[in-house]
């Protein structure tokens, strides 16, 4: 073990970092760049290990997730779905650099085919078909609803074949729809049967009204459908209390 490693592991340094953080608000962390330090690296490694060839990216926002996969060497296809218009336009621009990244026509994914209204937040990552709770908005003003937009909505089962006609595709179904995950899964019965993996946002404390799928529901759903947990990542935290609101879970069959 070299000197730098000894310094980084010393309890004295840990205490110094706590004192600096408390007094300045800056969190200092030095750590080797490994799967334990990076969720993005971990996802890409897991997808490679499991032979994922196609990612269904539901709730793409501006493309952060897909781009991170490609940054870490993913070579397969990504099909992204996003209903919020300004996020969708940025998603289109971001995807142009990557030949295997396809952006579907602007739409929401849910339990039925038709049209639906989405609540657009100031920061579009909080946008949802469900309404965000006032208790959350009160301490995160960027999450407040600034407008509503009409958008087409489809069951993923209705449209999957036009995006993934390959019958031998090894599919990862990724769902990040801000409390609307149950409705997406209700419209993904056949898609789920074809999916090797499931990546889903999991509420520990729901910040959206009428959220139908929370932690225990998702754990039971994954178990019932033959998915095993491979990775979890803390996503949203209440900065006033320290409570974790949401985590991301990655599950695979087999």
Domains and CATH numbers, the chain: 39-253 (3.40.50.150)
Question: What 8-state DSSP symbol labels residue 133?
Answer: P
Q: In angstroms, rounded to a whole number, what is the distance separating the alpha carbons of residues 186 and 140?
A: 30
Q: In angstroms, rounded to a whole number, what is the distance separating the alpha carbons of residues 74 and 197?
A: 15
Q: What is the model's pLDDT at position 18?
A: 65
The three-class DSSP label of residue 186 is helix
Six token digits for residue 45:
């490694």
Given a cut of 50, the residues of the chain with pLDDT beneath it are 3-4, 6-8
Six token digits for residue 73:
């060497």
Q: In angstroms, rounded to a whole number, what is the distance separating the alpha carbons of residues 43 and 230?
A: 10
Q: What is the model's pLDDT at position 188?
A: 98
């Amino acid at each position: 073990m070299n000197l730098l490693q000894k310094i980084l592991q010393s309890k004295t340094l840990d205490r110094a970092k706590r004192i600096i953080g408390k007094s300045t608000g800056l969190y200092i962390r030095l750590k080797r760049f490994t799967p334990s330090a990076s969720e993005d690296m971990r996802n890409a490694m897991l997808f490679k290990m499991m032979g994922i060839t196609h990612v269904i990216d539901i709730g793409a926002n501006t493309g952060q997730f897909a781009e991170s996969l490609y940054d870490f060497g993913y070579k397969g296809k990504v099909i992204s779905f996003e209903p919020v218009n300004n996020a969708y336009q940025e998603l289109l621009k971001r995807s142009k650099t990557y030949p295997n990244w396809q952006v579907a026509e602007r739409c929401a994914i849910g339990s039925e085919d038709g049209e639906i209204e989405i609540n657009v937040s100031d920061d579009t990552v909080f946008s949802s078909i469900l309404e965000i709770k006032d208790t959350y908005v009160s301490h995160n003003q960027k999450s407040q609803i600034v407008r509503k937009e009409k958008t087409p909505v489809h069951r993923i089962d209705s449209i999957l074949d036009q995006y993934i006609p390959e019958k031998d595709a090894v599919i990862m179904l990724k769902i990040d729809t801000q409390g609307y995950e149950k409705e997406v899964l209700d419209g993904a019965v056949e898609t789920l049967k074809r999916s090797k993996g499931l990546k889903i946002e999991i509420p520990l404390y729901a910040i959206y009204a009428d959220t139908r799928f929370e932690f225990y529901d998702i754990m039971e759903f994954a178990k019932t459908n033959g998915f095993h947990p491979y990775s979890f990542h803390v996503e949203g935290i209440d900065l006033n209390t320290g409570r974790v609101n949401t985590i991301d879970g990655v599950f695979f069959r087999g």
